[in-house]
């Protein structure tokens, strides 16, 4: 199979097939086995432009760590106030400028459509590092990779996506990605934070979905809980946020009602939705996700930059 990522933008996970994702995961495994000098030749002399107009810890640092691990380097705008955006420069001119210095760009932006717009403007590949509440495709890639590494398969697994299904961009990318792998998905949220209608109709017939409000009622049936943070910053009215704050909390008491091998994932950051007591249980896999994030992103950058590895 030819490399499906070579020189491509990564804006939505919907643009990649099951075999594309499997190609990425196989490459991630393969890169781990390379001799250090071979691994660090994958991006030798190449530069990643990191443009983050929203806060981030994992996505930004794992992209940077991934690029360094394969021999590349990075330059960044991570504090928009110190870039010419503060003087009124538009996204078009900022992207054109950054791409003149780098080989590829990763962009995080609060606006839906910003990553796609940047990809249209730029001749160099653009990776969407999170666009408003729309998508976060590389998070879904690492989420799926995590489940496959921890469980070996996704087919027929019972996976609950819990919390803020309205504004959480990771949820949308994950659902579109999971649709390739035949799991059963339980959508668990307060009525106010249900999955957006357009996604429900997009996914109809592509994935087995059911909607719920009570996590405790279904926990004994689940293989995976994918917990999400209520996205306070995306609520147009904080009164609405206060109504749903703290709706779901995972603690050891809840997990005692689940299967012994129930896996808890979270894209992070968390606030109060997973109690720290869960961290030391075998259920907690959310810090494994952060490790897999670097691995998958290193593979993705390598495939975008190199026709063959
Ligand atoms: N999962 C995720 O996107 O985390 P950050 O916001 O810290 O990048």
Condensed to tens digits (0 to 9), the pLDDT of residues 28-46 reads 999 999 999 999 999 999 9
Read off the pLDDT of each residue in 48-62 and give the average, rounded to a whole number: 97
Six-digit token string for 131: 């666009």
Tell me which of 27, 59, 228, 295 is the catalytic residue: 59
Pocket lining: 128 vs ligand 1, CB cutoff 6 Å: no
Q: Which residues of 149-183 are buried (b: 16+ CB within 10 A; e: fewer)?
A: beeeebeebbbbbbbbbbbbbbbbbbbbbbbbbeb
Q: In this predicted model, what pLDDT tens digit does every residue of 135-187 receive, in sequence order?
A: 999 999 999 999 999 999 999 999 999 999 999 999 999 999 999 999 999 99
Hey, is 161 helix, strand or coil? strand
Q: What is the pLDDT of residue 259?
A: 98
Q: If you measure from the C-alpha of residue 59 to the centroid of ligand 1, how many angstroms do you get, rounded to a whole number? A: 5
Read off the pLDDT of each residue in 76-99 and give the average, rounded to a whole number: 93
Among residues 208, 215, 220, which one has the least CA distance to residue 261?
220
Place 74 in a pLDDT band, splitting at 50, 70 and 90.
very high
β-bridge partners, 52:
108
User: What does 260-272 look like in DSSP terms, one character per residue?
Assistant: TT-EEE--S--SS
Pocket lining: 173 vs ligand 1, CB cutoff 6 Å: no
Q: What is the pLDDT of residue 82?
A: 86
Q: What is the pLDDT of residue 247?
A: 93
Hey, is 133 helix, strand or coil? coil
Q: What is the pLDDT of residue 20?
A: 98
Among residues 290, 294, 291, 288, which one has the least CA distance to residue 67?
294
How much of the chain, in percent, has pLDDT values that exceed 90? Answer: 94
Q: Is residue 10 within 8 Å of 128, Cβ to Cβ?
A: yes
**Which residue lies with its CA nearest to atom 5 of ligand 1?**
56
Pocket lining: 282 vs ligand 1, CB cutoff 6 Å: no
Read off the pLDDT of each residue in 298-302 and give the average, rounded to a whole number: 98
Question: Domains along the chain?
Answer: 13-135+291-305 (3.40.50.1370), 137-290 (3.40.50.1370)
Q: What is the pLDDT of residue 80?
A: 82
**Which residue lies with its CA nearest to atom 4 of ligand 1?**
58
User: Residue 82 has what DSSP assignment?
Assistant: G
Pocket lining: 293 vs ligand 1, CB cutoff 6 Å: no
Annotation says 58 is catalytic? yes
Q: Is residue 21 within 8 Å of 177, Cβ to Cβ?
A: yes
Residue 81, pLDDT > 90, answer no
Give the integer Cα–Cα distance in Å for 278 and 266.
Answer: 12
Q: What is the pLDDT of residue 167?
A: 95
Of the chain, the end-to-end C-alpha distance in Å amounts to 12
Place 306 in a pLDDT band, splitting at 50, 70 and 90.
very high
Residue 208 main-chain phi, psi, to 5 deg: -80, 105
Q: What is the pLDDT of residue 282?
A: 98
């Amino acid at each position: 199979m030819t490399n499906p990522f070579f020189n491509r933008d990564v804006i939505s996970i919907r643009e990649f097939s099951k075999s594309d994702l499997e190609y990425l995961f196989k490459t991630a495994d393969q890169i781990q086995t390379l001799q250090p000098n071979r691994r660090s030749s994958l991006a030798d002399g190449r530069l990643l432009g990191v443009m983050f107009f929203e806060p981030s810890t994992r996505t930004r640092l794992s992209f940077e760590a991934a690029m360094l691990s394969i021999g590349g380097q990075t330059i960044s705008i991570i504090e928009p106030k110190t870039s010419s955006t503060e003087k009124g420069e538009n996204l078009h001119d900022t992207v054109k400028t950054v791409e003149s210095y780098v080989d590829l760009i990763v962009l995080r932006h609060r606006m839906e459509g910003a990553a796609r717009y940047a990809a249209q403007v730029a001749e160099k590949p653009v990776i969407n590092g999170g666009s408003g509440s729309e998508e976060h495709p590389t998070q879904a890639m690492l989420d799926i990779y995590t489940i496959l590494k921890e469980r070996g398969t996704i087919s027929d697994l019972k996976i609950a996506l819990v919390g803020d299904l309205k504004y959480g961009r990771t949820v949308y990318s994950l659902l579109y990605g999971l649709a390739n792998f035949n799991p059963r998905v339980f959508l668990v949220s307060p009525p106010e934070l249900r999955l957006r209608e357009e996604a429900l109709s997009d996914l109809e017939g592509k994935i087995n979905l059911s909607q719920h409000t009570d996590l405790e009622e279904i926990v004994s049936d689940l293989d995976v809980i994918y917990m999400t943070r209520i996205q306070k910053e995306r609520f147009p009215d904080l009164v609405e946020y206060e109504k749903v704050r703290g709706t779901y909390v995972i603690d050891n008491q809840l997990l005692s009602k689940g299967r012994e091998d129930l896996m808890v994932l979270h894209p992070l950051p968390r606030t109060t939705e997973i109690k720290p007591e869960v961290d030391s249980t075998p259920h907690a896999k959310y810090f494994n996700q952060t490790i897999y994030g670097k691995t998958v992103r290193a593979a993705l950058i390598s495939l975008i930059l190199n026709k063959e590895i």
